[in-house]
């Protein structure tokens, strides 16, 4: 992915969504250049991207998995908002 992210950190969390059922997953927590928090997780279903909520993956139903290109499009669109 070729999107500039700030303050990136890798974190492991137990994901309680219906798909992962408490499974330990790795996610990237970061910040977009416009200040919005973002969480990205990759698994067998693709990339899961949550924007605007810290630690959104792991606490709520995971956003649907998308391709890397679609994840990049979602992130670029969020950077244009506001």
What is the structure's pLDDT at 59? 47
Domains identified in the chain, total number: 1
Residue 5 DSSP symbol: -
Residue at 32 is within a domain: yes
Residues 40/30, Cβ–Cβ less than 8 Å = yes
Residue at 1 is within a domain: no
Residue at 18 is within a domain: yes
Query: Whole domain around residue 46: which residue ranges?
Result: 6-80
Residue at 25 is within a domain: yes
Give the total residue count for the chain: 82
Would the pTM of this model clear 0.85, i.e. be above it?
A: no
Residue 12 has pLDDT above 70, yes or no: yes
What is the structure's pLDDT at 9? 92
pLDDT digits (tens, 9 = 90+) for 15-64: 777 777 888 888 889 998 888 888 888 888 888 888 876 555 544 556 78
Residue at 27 is within a domain: yes
Structure-block tokens of residue 1 = 């992915």
């Amino acid at each position: 992915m070729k999107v500039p992210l700030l303050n990136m950190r890798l974190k492991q969390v137990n994901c309680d969504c219906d798909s992962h059922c408490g499974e330990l997953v790795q996610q990237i927590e970061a910040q977009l250049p416009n200040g919005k928090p973002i969480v990205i997780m990759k698994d067998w279903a693709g990339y899961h991207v949550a924007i605007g909520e810290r630690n959104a993956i792991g606490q709520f139903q995971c956003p649907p998995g998308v391709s890397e290109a679609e994840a990049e499009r979602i992130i670029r669109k969020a950077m244009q908002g506001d």
